[in-house]
């Protein structure tokens, strides 16, 4: 029987399923394994079902035993795994696309609404029980007829666009390549980020984390935005130069921001916590029971397919 190391706790139904298929080494305490412990626990295993919180870099991969043939990532993003090093060690890496698209798109819209309508400030006023109505009390920005820039028009970006259109927003996007007109559904393509950012009343970051997109929001690119723009991020924290974005908030170049992801999670750049026009969530993008169950099942399916066929549809390396 194959042995699979599961690095983080899964929902009960998923753990029961994987334990019926293989000899599964489960993480009942849900601790984040340091790399040396992950290496030790994986000895004698045939595969690893890991989480986005596991940093499986080149050094870690090079120390894995030769028995490891697959790393199935419980996430659509793969920035936590050195896929090149895995390939060089004959280890297949897979992810879980599609199943978290709708849940993450919903969070992206929540970030847009929360930032635009000053939700964090409003909640504090209600809790303090000392608010009173006035004609200019907590006035925010309206989504209707505003321009939404989508950075990364893939599955999630496309799902965000459909939801934003229902709010009457005008959709602009930048992608590695222009979509077919039938897929654009009226969205306007920009072939560079300066062009996109310059028309974005609100920006939704939905692109993958790559060398090219790291710190794509920085001191220079923030100057491209119209004054009073809103920036939201439901993709990966590495996209943003935190210090530069906080300074843009202080200078009122940027009106508000909405974040579900951060550099160095679960730590949050402290500057965000001191600004009232910041709407923040603790990485809830895929956090519904339906989605998390489907993600884990797909991560398991990827391992099943690999051992049955020697390859996998959701292979990323």
| Residue 75 CB coordination number (10 Å) | 21
Let me know whether 126 and 27 are in one domain.
Answer: no
* Catalytic residue list: 236, 265, 283
Tens digits of per-residue pLDDT, 107-133?
Answer: 999 999 999 999 999 999 999 988 888
Tens digits of per-residue pLDDT, 271-293?
Answer: 999 899 999 999 999 999 999 99
Tens digits of per-residue pLDDT, 153-174?
Answer: 999 999 999 999 999 999 999 9
- Residue 31 backbone zone (phi > 0: left; psi -120 to 50: alpha; other: beta): beta
The neighbouring-strand residues paired with 4 are: 24, 47
Let me know whether 134 and 88 are in one domain.
Answer: no
- Residue 11 belongs to some domain of the structure: yes
The neighbouring-strand residues paired with 203 are: 149, 231
Tens digits of per-residue pLDDT, 247-277?
Answer: 999 999 999 999 999 998 889 999 999 899 9
Which residues fall within 8 angstroms of residue 166, CB to CB, at 6 or more apart?
none
Per-residue confidence (pLDDT) for residue 210, from 0 to 100: 86
Let me know whether 166 and 60 are in one domain.
Answer: no
Residue indicated by tokens 């080149």: 58
Which residues fall within 8 angstroms of residue 293, CB to CB, at 6 or more apart?
11, 13, 14
Higher pLDDT pick, 208 / 26 = 26
As for how many domains the chain has, the answer is: 2
| Residue 242 CB coordination number (10 Å) | 19
- Of 156, 106, 98, 157, the closest CA to residue 298 belongs to 98
Q: Let me know if 175 is exposed, middle or buried by CB neighbors in 10 A (0-12, 13-18, 19+).
A: buried
Domain that includes residue 70, residue range = 3-98+288-309
Task: Tell me the CATH number at 264.
Answer: 3.40.50.720
Residue indicated by tokens 């190391």: 5
- Residue 314 belongs to some domain of the structure: no
């Amino acid at each position: 029987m194959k042995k699979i190391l599961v690095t983080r706790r899964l929902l009960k139904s998923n753990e029961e399923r994987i334990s019926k298929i293989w000899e599964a080494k489960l993480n009942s305490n849900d601790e984040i394994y340091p790399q040396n412990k992950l290496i030790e626990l994986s000895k004698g295993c045939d595969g690893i079902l890991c989480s986005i919180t596991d940093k499986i870099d080149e050094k870690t991969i090079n120390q894995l035993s030769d028995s490891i043939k697959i790393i199935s990532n419980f996430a659509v993003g793969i920035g936590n795994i050195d896929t090149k090093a895995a390939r060089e060690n004959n280890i297949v890496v897979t992810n879980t696309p599609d199943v978290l698209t709708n849940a993450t798109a919903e969070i992206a819209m929540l970030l847009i609404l929360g930032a635009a309508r000053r939700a964090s400030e409003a909640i504090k006023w209600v809790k303090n029980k000392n608010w009173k109505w006035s004609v200019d009390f907590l006035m925010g920005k309206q989504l209707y007829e505003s321009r939404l820039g989508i950075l990364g028009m893939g599955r999630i970006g496309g799902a965000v666009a459909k939801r934003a259109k229902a709010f009457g927003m005008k959709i602009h996007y930048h992608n590695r390549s222009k979509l077919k007109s039938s897929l654009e559904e009226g969205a306007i393509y920009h072939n560079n980020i300066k062009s996109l950012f310059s028309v974005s009343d609100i920006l939704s970051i939905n692109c993958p984390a790559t060398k090219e997109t790291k710190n794509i929001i920085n001191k220079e690119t923030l100057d491209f935005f119209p004054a009073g723009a809103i920036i939201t991020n439901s993709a990966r924290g590495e996209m943003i130069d935190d210090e530069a974005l906080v300074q843009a908030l202080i200078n009122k170049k940027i009106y508000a921001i909405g974040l579900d992801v951060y550099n160095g999670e679960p730590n949050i750049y402290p500057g965000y916590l001191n600004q009232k026009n910041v709407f923040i969530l603790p990485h809830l993008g895929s956090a519904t029971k339906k989605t998390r169950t489907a993600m884990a099942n797909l991560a398991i399916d990827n391992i099943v397919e690999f051992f049955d066929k020697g390859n996998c549809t959701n292979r990323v390396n």
